[in-house]
Structure 1
């Protein structure tokens, strides 16, 4: 799986316009081949700090998205930002779910019980 995180520091008086623009685009982005998810997040302390998080089946799927018309339109939102988009691409080698939490908590509980001699 490939994950792309796009950080955006929006000009304060452009925040509403940016959010509306992104929300109108996300539906089309999610329809891209190999797209597993595309979600917009807002910082709880500063509403002008936004993040888009996309998950893709393969790097080829992501690359096709990056050269798509919808992504070109997205890049045009740079005029609404204080600084350029911060784009980070991550390749996930292994993914775990709740079992990781359960295993860690089980290990913690096992070590908390002192052996009786």
Structure 2
């Protein structure tokens, strides 16, 4: 799995425009070959800082996307930002889930939530 993280520090007056652009691209991106997921998160300490997370099945899928018109549109959002976006690409060879948490906590089942 390949994970790309794009960090964007948007100009306050352009925040809505950036969000609308990303949302309009999301449906098409989900149909891109090899795209496993796409999520955008807002930094809780800075509402103008966003991270766009994308998971790809292979590096070849990511490279195809980086050459696409859709990624070109994303590059065009730089005019909405305080500074050029930053991108980090990770190759993930292993991932773990709740079983790792349970093992670390020596718990077989998650604790019940009381109300």
TM-score by length of 2: 0.90
1:40-82 deviation line (CA, Å, top 9, x unaligned)? 1111222100110000000000110111110111100000001
Aligned to 1:91: 91
Aligned to 2:37: 37
1:83 is paired with a residue whose SS is: coil
2:94 is paired with a residue whose SS is: coil
What is the total number of aligned residue pairs between the two structures?
A: 107
Aligned to 2:2: 2
Q: Distance in 2 between matches of 1:86 and 1:96?
A: 27
What are the within-5 Å matches in structure 2 for residues 38-57 of structure 1? 38-57=38-57
- Consecutive unaligned residues of structure 2, counting only runs of 5 or more, are 108-115
Larger Rg: 1
Aligned to 1:104: 104
2:106 is paired with a residue whose SS is: helix
Name the structure where helix makes up a greater proportion of residues. 1
Moved over 2 A (4+): none
1:52 is paired with a residue whose SS is: strand
Q: Distance in 2 between matches of 1:29 and 1:83?
A: 24
2:52 is paired with a residue whose SS is: strand
Moved more, 40-49 or 2-11: 40-49
1:7-53 deviation line (CA, Å, top 9, x unaligned)? 00001110111111111111111111000001111112221001100
Q: Distance in 2 between matches of 1:27 and 1:85?
A: 22
